[in-house]
Structure formats: structure tokens, C-alpha cells
Amino acid sequence: MSTAESNSGLTPTEHAHIEMLSRHYENKRSACVEVLKYVQTRYKFVADHHLSEIANLLAMSRTELESVATYYNLIFRQQVGAHVILLCDSVSCWIMGRDKLCAHLRQHLGIEPGETTPDGAYTLLPIVCLGHCDHAPAMLLDDELHGDLDIKRLDELLPLPTEPRL
Ligand code: FES
């Protein structure tokens, strides 16, 4: 989806799909998480104008939907890169060296957590426990969960620039 497309409203096809999703629930507002996820699959994030449009379609206030969207840390409210790295920063991963991995990513991507590389390839985000503590440190790379990470494994999973950028 291009930036121009993500700046425009939802398409008639997307409206129809949202209607279809909301029909699975007695109260259509109950479909809100599913609808937010659907819109995110289309645009990679849920823009402000899309949030307002979804709220109208689901008969919710914008504030109600905003509070749902910000509660779920897998719903992105800002543009993200082509690949999203969600590196766990909870206790087991922290004990098992996630800070070293984070430093490696920061250095080679040239960004801080919460930022996207200038070429739009990667966004680096912290995330709370992924439920993979027995394989800490862990991360979600896009939709895939990876555990038992070390720098070698990170470099295999992500074609990082070899020269540090920071
Ligand atoms: S603490 Fe990182 S997966 Fe649980």
C-alpha cells in the first residue's frame, strides 16, 4: 500500500469486509480488535483518519476505539518499516542478554528503539513478555517468534548492514 493510499480513506471493499467481520458479533463494537488488525494488514498501521472511520462503522466513539488501539501493543498507530522487530524487554530476556542484542541492532540499524531506519526497511520496538521466556531472549520479527537469540542468530535472521551506523 503506497503512502498516498494510506493517506486516503478506506475503500468500499474494505468497508464491506469490515461489515462482514462485524456481523460475526452480536454487538459490532466487539469486532473492534479484529477490524483494527484487518486495517493494519492493509496499511501496516492504523492512521488517525482510519481510526475515526472505523469508529463510525462500529458505532464507537473515537476515544473508545483509540483506547483499545493503544492498549494492544501489536496495533501500530504510526507508520512502521517494511519489517518490524519487536524485541522483548521483560525480565527473563533482560537476564539473558537482550540489552546486548538491542545494542547490536541499534548500532547496525543506526536507530534507537521506537524509530524506523531512513530507508523504511526496519522499525525497532520494545515489547513486553512474548510468553517465550524458556527460550529467552526472544523477539517477534514481523509475525514470527524467534527465541534463544544471540548476535550470530540475529545476523542470520536480519541482513543487517555490516558496518555499524551509530
Ligand atoms: S521475558 Fe521475554 S519472552 Fe518472556
Residue 130 Cβ inside 6 Å of ligand 1? The answer reads: yes
151 domain-assigned? yes
Residue 157 CB contacts under 8 Å (≥ 6 apart), including other chains: 141, 146
| Tens-place pLDDT, residues 74-94 | 999 999 999 999 999 999 999
67 shares its domain with 128: no
Angstrom CA distances, 158 to 34, 76, 91, 119, 148, stand at 29, 21, 24, 15, 15
CATH code of the domain containing 97: 3.40.30.10
Number of independent structural domains in the chain = 2
pTM, two decimal places = 0.85
More confident residue, 110 or 159: 110
164 domain-assigned? no
| Tens-place pLDDT, residues 149-165 | 999 999 999 876 656 66
- What's at 84, amino acid-wise? V
Q: Compute the distance from residue 37 Cα to the ligand 1 centre, in Å.
A: 23
Among the atoms of ligand 1, which is closest to the Cα of residue 91?
1
- Best residue among 93, 134, 146, 148 to mutate for probing ligand 1's pocket (most ligand atoms within 8 Å of CB) is 93
Residue 136 Cβ inside 6 Å of ligand 1? The answer reads: yes
91 domain-assigned? yes
103 shares its domain with 56: no
Q: Compute the distance from residue 129 Cα to the ligand 1 centre, in Å.
A: 4
150 domain-assigned? yes
Residue 140 Cβ inside 6 Å of ligand 1? The answer reads: no
Question: Starting from the edge strand earliest in sequence, which strands make up the sheet with 122-127, in order?
Answer: 122-127, 83-88, 139-141, 144-146
Domain that holds residue 63: 3-71
Q: Identify the DSSP state of 159.
A: -
